[in-house]
Amino acid sequence: MRPRSKSDTARGRRWGFLGLLGVLLGAPGVLPTYIVHIGVFVFIDTLPVIGLGILSGYAGRVSLAQGALFGVGAYTTALLTTRLGWPALAGFVPAVCVAVLLGIVLGAPALRLAGLYFVMATIGIQQIIWIVLMNWGPVTGGSQGIRSIPAVTFGPVVVESPQAFYYLALGAALGSYLLSRRVLASRLGLELRALCDDELAARASAVSVTRAKVVAFALSAAWAGAGGFLYAHYVRYIHPEMFTLEPSILFLTMSIFGGARSLEGMLFATGILESATEYLRPLGEYRMIGYGLLLLLGMMFFPRGILSLFVRQPGTGPAAPAPAADEPAVR
């Protein structure tokens, strides 16, 4: 982010951003509860998707374990609040930390793997976490799941209704968007882009490749854990089947579908795909077929992401991961 830029495009973008924010803030007052409810899920999903976007778009490591780490965050806060009686907000930090810790322990040996081999390893991580959640009955409740997770409370205010949670989730999504922009504009972001483009060249120019990859993976796990925290306290009942390979695939798709290396693209795709099962509802039982076709045709015809339809950005997209033209060479 360049806050002091005087150029017209930056100013235009800022007005667009504020305008969109205004619309989003006003939306729950006008729209029916059902739509607000879907909006909450869109914002919650934004977190793991952004985390994954940092990892896949910028570090070049595509992970299919994000759904499990999301689940780890959800289970951590759910267990702390229901079994130990912690207040909901106190579960946030442990949720993030446990997701990061587990992600690092399981994922660190995999990080030296490149390309598809890394994807394969993350499938293993995803399935192992899911199988443990499912079968470790005494701790996780097994296939019973965890019921009556308390709502988030700020002093006397209980964030329970979809409208109230909408603002919490919007705040979290906005916060994670701004935070990740800061991260990506930092030296770490530069290092990640360097190692994604050419790991050998990055190493040769004094980028600590291993450290950068571990940090990127930890960040993506942290975002997943935070998302899981929100999810657990919104739906208030969690079950291992919510954290199978399917959400992992969904998160990956969302982070790719809008155009990799574009946070805005990821947010856009999250909105489109998370609500897809709703606006495809008129298709009836053909709904999931429509959804699969959306993914398939989207990838066939817009491999650089659907945002490439509307915005032309140099060097966005996995097809040609060239550095963006307006990026400074040295910081």
Partner 1 sequence: MLWQIVVGGVATGCIYAVVGLGFTLVYRTLRMVNFAQGHVFMAGTFLGLLLATRWQFPAVSLLVAVAVAAYGIGLLLDRWIFRRLYHDHVVFVVGTIGLGIVLQNAVRLFFPEPVPFPKVFGERIVVLGSARFQVSYVWVVALTVLLVALLHALFAYTRVGRAMRAVAADPEIAGTVGVKVPRAIGQTFGLSFAVAAVAGVLIGPLYFVSFDMGDMVGLKAFCAAVLGGINSIPGTIAGGVLLGLLEALAAGYVSSAYKDLVAFALLLLMLAIRPTGLLGYETPVKV
Q: What residues line the site for partner 1 (CB under 8 A)?
A: 56, 62, 106, 109-110, 113, 115-117, 119-121, 123-125, 127-128, 131-132, 135, 200, 245, 249, 252-253, 256-257, 260, 285-286, 288-289, 291-301, 303, 318-319
Determine contact, residues 19/190, Cβ cutoff 8 Å.
Answer: no
d(CA 232, CA 149): 7
Q: Which is nearer to partner 1, 112 or 211 (CB)?
A: 112
Q: Which is nearer to partner 1, 185 or 245 (CB)?
A: 245
Q: Which is nearer to partner 1, 1 or 293 (CB)?
A: 293
Q: Which is nearer to partner 1, 162 or 259 (CB)?
A: 259
Minimum Å gap between C-beta 26 and partner 1 is: 34
Give start and end residues of each alpha helix (H) in 186-262.
Answer: 187-197, 199-204, 209-235, 245-257
Q: Which is nearer to partner 1, 15 or 279 (CB)?
A: 279
d(CA 108, CA 115): 15
Which residues, 6 or more positions from 242, have their beta carbon under 8 angstroms from its beta carbon? 71, 74
Q: Token digits for 83?
A: 């079994």
Q: Which is nearer to partner 1, 20 or 283 (CB)?
A: 283
d(CA 4, CA 6): 6
Minimum Å gap between C-beta 175 and partner 1 is: 27
Minimum Å gap between C-beta 42 and partner 1 is: 19
Minimum Å gap between C-beta 277 and partner 1 is: 11
Minimum Å gap between C-beta 144 and partner 1 is: 14
Q: Which residue has the tokens 């960040």?
A: 219
Minimum Å gap between C-beta 55 and partner 1 is: 12
The region that residue 227 occupies, defined by phi over 0 for left and psi between -120 and 50 for alpha, beta otherwise, is alpha
Angle at 273 between CA 71 and CA 147, to 5 degrees: 30
